[in-house]
């Protein structure tokens, strides 16, 4: 097979070692193949020319407009010193003059341009002192431009200042791409397309979906001749990306199911039954029952379970986890529950310990802060099998933690853990890995679930325990402060309790604490003792003090709880009916949803008041209006994805799964769905992809699956 695509970019016409170094450093482009996969991020129309006169006739003058001008460069002059230094060119056509301005790469620009010559200048207008100029325009000699056909869709590649300064601006990149396709075409002519750029989608798939072949798609994504080609190329390349991602995930899932034996939990034993009959403080919801059934089926199947448990805030995932852990113990195994923060892990520990009181179950807590003798004792008892349930932070997956026979590993709020951590859980038992149950804190958008957790089975708790009431949510600005206080007083007079929450972000911790203390003082003045009692909790307090303050609120001794986001998870005070969130604009959507989940758990009517300054960004406004509009966690998750994009949703970046080049999970749900469905169908018929027609898939999967860099696999 041809090695063309593995050739270092340095050897491409017009690149050389300096530019190659830049491409490598700035964009991670090493080889011809990398270059081919660095798609344009947009296109501009190069068939249309503007005249300077027509631009000047507009009122107001066009600002930030992309224009292409044909004219003569009259003069090049340098002005200013040091950082203010700039190079200005007078550019004239038959209808007027504009200034071309460069602030960077002046040396290089000056060398490339010759006053007196005719050029095509392309750039974005900017208006200064009533005149139009073009900062950092692309320049090309008119004679060069005239040699080739103008493109309706001229590709624009992502660039950086450093690349621009080295002549790798939009035009430079376009030239390199042209050189690349020249090489590619020559090689294909000599060796055949299969040797140079093998197709990775079987023909039957391409036919079915009417997708162009790989070569066409790649050519058209860089140099489309019309809109149809561009659309076809995009469709094919997006599909390809999502399809292989799904194929890989589903193939892994299938292999595990068939190949990896799991402990068989066949007994519903004494502990489970005793807990269910004597200790369970409420009737399970139908959704909880259904989910437990699904999990039990997995646990008895003989294969290893890998399941995702999704459910909205407060839907009751913890009790499901606990029942499953009891199943494990009844069958002679240990279980563990891992949470992302110390506070949450502690809460699980004390909650579960309390619920299991009187039952012969050994429960322990372990985190990085458990040290010395205590840690040693726990580790010894764990290895001896004297501890049945271990609850803690990610310390649980450290190598020094050895179980006797771990049968079930549960992680809460998986979206804060990376995929690597999930894999580490697997290794916690030999020879058989434990069953793995992953629980999310907030719902995940469908597309994200399909990609991030595409290798897991999914159970959804889609029902809240009875008695939950939708929370009325309003947005109030600072000038309504007095009104908000009055409202709090009314609720307290009715015997209710109130949370007031402040953001606490690590980077601005000092300032945030100051805010919190000022808020505390203001509230103390408005709610004087002895009529009102106030609790305050924040991350800087000693655990014992925190606990003391929490307890006072839980027992109803205080009416107001002022806190940072430590109460985000887990706290349960049914009598609290008002949640006031300060500086709401600084919270993310899922955090706001979590916080709001603390109210609406008992009182007849609950309220969430989102406080902000008068002026906030559009994005913050959008977040707030989403909260006001809906109580549904799944809807909020979708909105969050749209607002922030998949790359910014917690956990996605670490996962490495979402290095998508073209596909966009917010827009390409349909393609994703098609890709997943087809991958499922293909694997159902041909699980190991041994059919000759599926040979390209098998080849692609095996090489990609090994984690080789994308292009290593082509030859
Ligand atoms: P999450 O799914 O957010 O982790 P939790 O497991 O913390 O929710 O449960 C939230 C609250 O609901 C807890 O106080 C729990 O005891 C209670 N709860 C769970 N299931 C039920 C149920 N079926 N009926 C009544 N209350 C329930
Ligand atoms: Mg929970």
pLDDT (tens digit, 9 = 90+) per residue, 581-605?
A: 999 999 989 889 989 988 988 767 9
**Ligand (nearest to CA of 318):** 1
Is residue 318 within 6 Å of ligand 1 at its C-beta?
Answer: yes
Secondary structure (3-state) at 468:
coil
Could you identify the residue written with the tokens 């109030």? 476
Is residue 311 within 6 Å of ligand 1 at its C-beta?
Answer: yes
Q: Among 2.40.50.140, 3.30.460.80, 2.60.40.3080, 3.60.40.10, what is the CATH number of 48-149? A: 2.40.50.140
613 Cα to the center of ligand 2, angstroms? 31
Model-wide pTM > 0.85? no
642 Cα to the center of ligand 2, angstroms? 25
CB atoms within 10 A of CB 345: 23
45 Cα to the center of ligand 1, angstroms? 57
pLDDT band at residue 418 using 50, 70 and 90 as cut-offs? low
- Whether the pLDDT of residue 42 is over 50: the answer is yes
Is residue 440 within 6 Å of ligand 1 at its C-beta?
Answer: no
What contacts 40, CB < 8 A, 6 or more positions away?
155, 156, 157, 221, 222
Q: What is the DSSP-derived secondary structure letter of residue 396?
A: G
Is residue 285 within 6 Å of ligand 1 at its C-beta?
Answer: yes
Q: Ligand 1: which of 314, 444, 634 to mutate, most ligand atoms within 8 Å of CB?
A: 314
- CATH placement of domain 270-299+316-440: 3.40.50.300
Could you identify the residue written with the tokens 């580790």? 379
Instruction: Find residue 406's DSSP bridge partners.
Output: 334
- Whether the pLDDT of residue 655 is over 60: the answer is no
pLDDT of residue 664: 86
pLDDT of residue 708: 43
Query: Where, residue-wise, is CATH 3.40.50.300 in the chain?
Result: 270-299+316-440, 472-630
pLDDT band at residue 709 using 50, 70 and 90 as cut-offs? very low
405 Cα to the center of ligand 1, angstroms? 29
Angle at which helices 286-300 and 317-330 pack, to 10 degrees? Answer: 30
- Nearest CA, atom 25, ligand 1: 465
Q: For residue range 514-570, what is the model confidence (pLDDT) as tens digits? A: 888 899 999 999 999 999 999 998 877 887 888 788 889 989 999 999 998 765 555
Full 3-state SS string of 628-694: HHCCCHHHHHHHHHHHHCHHHCCCHHHHCCCCCCCCCCCCCHHHHHHHHHHHHHHHHHCCCCCCHHH
Is residue 369 within 6 Å of ligand 1 at its C-beta?
Answer: no
**Ligand (nearest to CA of 311):** 1
What contacts 653, CB < 8 A, 6 or more positions away?
647
- Whether the pLDDT of residue 53 is over 80: the answer is yes
Decide if 68 contacts 151 (C-beta within 8 A).
no
Q: What is the DSSP-derived secondary structure letter of residue 64?
A: S
Residue range 683-691: mean pLDDT, rounded: 95
Is residue 319 within 6 Å of ligand 1 at its C-beta?
Answer: yes
Query: Where, residue-wise, is CATH 2.40.50.140 in the chain?
Result: 48-149
d(CA 102, CA 115): 15
- Whether the pLDDT of residue 81 is over 90: the answer is no
566 Cα to the center of ligand 1, angstroms? 19
pLDDT of residue 213: 95
Compute the residue count for the chain. 715
Which of 133, 153, 123 minimizes the C-alpha distance to 91? 133
d(CA 390, CA 484): 44
pLDDT of residue 450: 86
φ/ψ of 543, rounded to 5, equals -50, -40
209 Cα to the center of ligand 2, angstroms? 42
Higher pLDDT among residues 448 and 572, named by residue = 448
d(CA 574, CA 615): 34
pLDDT band at residue 686 using 50, 70 and 90 as cut-offs? very high
Q: For residue range 136-150, what is the model confidence (pLDDT) as tens digits? A: 998 999 998 898 888
Is residue 572 within 6 Å of ligand 1 at its C-beta?
Answer: yes
Q: Ligand 1: which of 285, 321, 465, 572 to mutate, most ligand atoms within 8 Å of CB?
A: 465
d(CA 231, CA 234): 5
% residues pLDDT > 70 (the chain): 94
Distances (CA, A) of 328 to 271, 288, 306, 325, 408: 10, 18, 15, 5, 7
Is residue 288 within 6 Å of ligand 1 at its C-beta?
Answer: yes
- Whether the pLDDT of residue 449 is over 90: the answer is no
pLDDT of residue 652: 52
Angle at which helices 214-222 and 227-259 pack, to 10 degrees? Answer: 130
Average pLDDT taken over every residue of the chain: 89
- Whether the pLDDT of residue 715 is over 50: the answer is no
Instruction: Write out the two tokens for 206.
Output: 């391409």
Q: For residue range 504-517, what is the model confidence (pLDDT) as tens digits? A: 766 677 777 788 88
Is residue 465 within 6 Å of ligand 1 at its C-beta?
Answer: yes
- CATH placement of domain 472-630: 3.40.50.300
441 Cα to the center of ligand 2, angstroms? 6
């Amino acid at each position: 097979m041809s090695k063309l695509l593995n050739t270092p970019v340095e050897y491409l016409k017009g690149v050389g070692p300096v530019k190659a170094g830049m491409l490598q450093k700035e964009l991670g482009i090493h080889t011809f193949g990398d270059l081919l996969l660095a798609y344009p991020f947009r296109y501009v129309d190069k068939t249309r020319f503007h005249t300077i006169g027509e631009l000047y006739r507009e009122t107001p003058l066009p600002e930030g407009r992309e224009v292409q001008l044909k004219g003569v460069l009259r003069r090049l002059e340098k002005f200013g010193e040091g950082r203010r230094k700039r190079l200005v060119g007078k550019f004239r056509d038959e209808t007027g003059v504009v200034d071309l301005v460069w602030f960077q790469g002046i040396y290089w620009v000056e060398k490339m341009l010759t006053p007196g010559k005719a050029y095509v200048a392309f750039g974005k207008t900017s208006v200064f002192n009533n005149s139009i100029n073009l900062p950092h325009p692309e320049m090309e000699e008119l004679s060069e431009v005239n040699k080739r056909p103008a493109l309706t869709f001229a590709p624009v590649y992502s660039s950086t200042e450093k690349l621009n300064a080295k002549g790798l601006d939009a035009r430079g990149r376009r030239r390199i791409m042209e050189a690349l396709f020249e090489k590619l075409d020559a090689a294909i002519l000599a060796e055949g397309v299969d040797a140079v750029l093998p197709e990775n989608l079987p023909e039957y798939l391409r036919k079915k979906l009417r997708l162009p072949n790989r070569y066409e798609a790649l050519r058209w994504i860089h140099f489309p001749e019309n809109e149809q080609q561009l659309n076809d190329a995009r469709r094919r390349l997006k599909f390809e990306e999502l399809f292989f991602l799904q194929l890989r995930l589903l193939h892994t899932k299938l292999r595990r199911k068939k190949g990896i034996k799991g402990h068989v939990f066949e007994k519903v034993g004494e502990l489970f039954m005793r807990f269910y009959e004597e200790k369970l403080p409420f009737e399970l919801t139908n959704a909880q029952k259904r989910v437990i059934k699904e999990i039990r089926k997995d646990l008895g199947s003989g294969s290893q379970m890998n399941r995702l448990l999704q459910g909205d805030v407060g839907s009751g995932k913890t009790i499901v986890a606990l029942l499953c852990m009891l199943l494990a113990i009844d069958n002679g195994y240990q279980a563990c529950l891992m949470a992302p923060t110390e506070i949450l892990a502690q809460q699980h520990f004390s909650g579960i310990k309390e619920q299991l009181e009187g039952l012969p179950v050994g429960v322990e807590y372990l985190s990085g802060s458990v040290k010395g003798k205590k840690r040693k004792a726990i580790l010894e008892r764990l290895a001896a099998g004297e501890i049945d349930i271990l609850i803690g932070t990610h310390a649980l997956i450290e190598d020094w933690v050895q179980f006797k026979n771990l049968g079930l590993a549960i992680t809460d709020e998986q979206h804060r853990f990376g995929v690597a951590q999930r894999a580490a859980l697997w290794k916690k038992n030999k020879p058989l890995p434990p069953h793995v149950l992953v629980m999310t804190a907030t719902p995940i958008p469908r597309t994200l679930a399909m990609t991030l957790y595409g290798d897991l089975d999914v159970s959804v708790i889609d029902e809240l325990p009875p008695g939950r009431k939708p929370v009325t949510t309003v947005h109030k600005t600072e000038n309504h402060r007095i009104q908000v206080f009055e409202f709090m007083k009314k609720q307290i007079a009715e015997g209710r309790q109130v949370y007031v929450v402040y953001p606490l972000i690590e980077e601005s911790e000092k300032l945030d604490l100051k805010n919190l203390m000022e808020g505390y003082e203001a509230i103390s003045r408005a709610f004087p003792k002895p009529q009102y009692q106030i609790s305050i909790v924040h991350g800087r307090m000693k655990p014992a003090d925190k606990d003391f303050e929490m307890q006072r609120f839980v027992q109803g001794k205080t009416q107001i709880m002022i806190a940072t986001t430590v109460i985000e998870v887990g706290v349960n005070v049914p009598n609290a009916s008002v949640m006031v969130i300060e500086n709401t604009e600084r919270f993310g959507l899922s955090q706001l949803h979590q916080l709001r989940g603390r109210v609406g758990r008992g009182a007849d009517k609950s309220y969430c008041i989102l406080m902000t300054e008068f002026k906030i960004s559009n994005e913050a406004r959008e977040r707030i209006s989403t909260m006001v509009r809906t109580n549904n966690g799944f809807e909020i998750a979708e909105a969050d994805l749209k607002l922030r994009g998949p790359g910014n949703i917690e956990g996605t970046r670490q996962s490495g799964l979402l290095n998508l080049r073209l596909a966009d999970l917010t827009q390409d749900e349909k393609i994703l769905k098609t890709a997943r469905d087809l991958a499922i169908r293909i694997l159902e018929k041909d699980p190991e992809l041994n059919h000759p027609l599926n040979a390209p898939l098998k080849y692609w999967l095996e090489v990609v699956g090994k984690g080789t860099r994308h292009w290593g696999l082509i030859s």
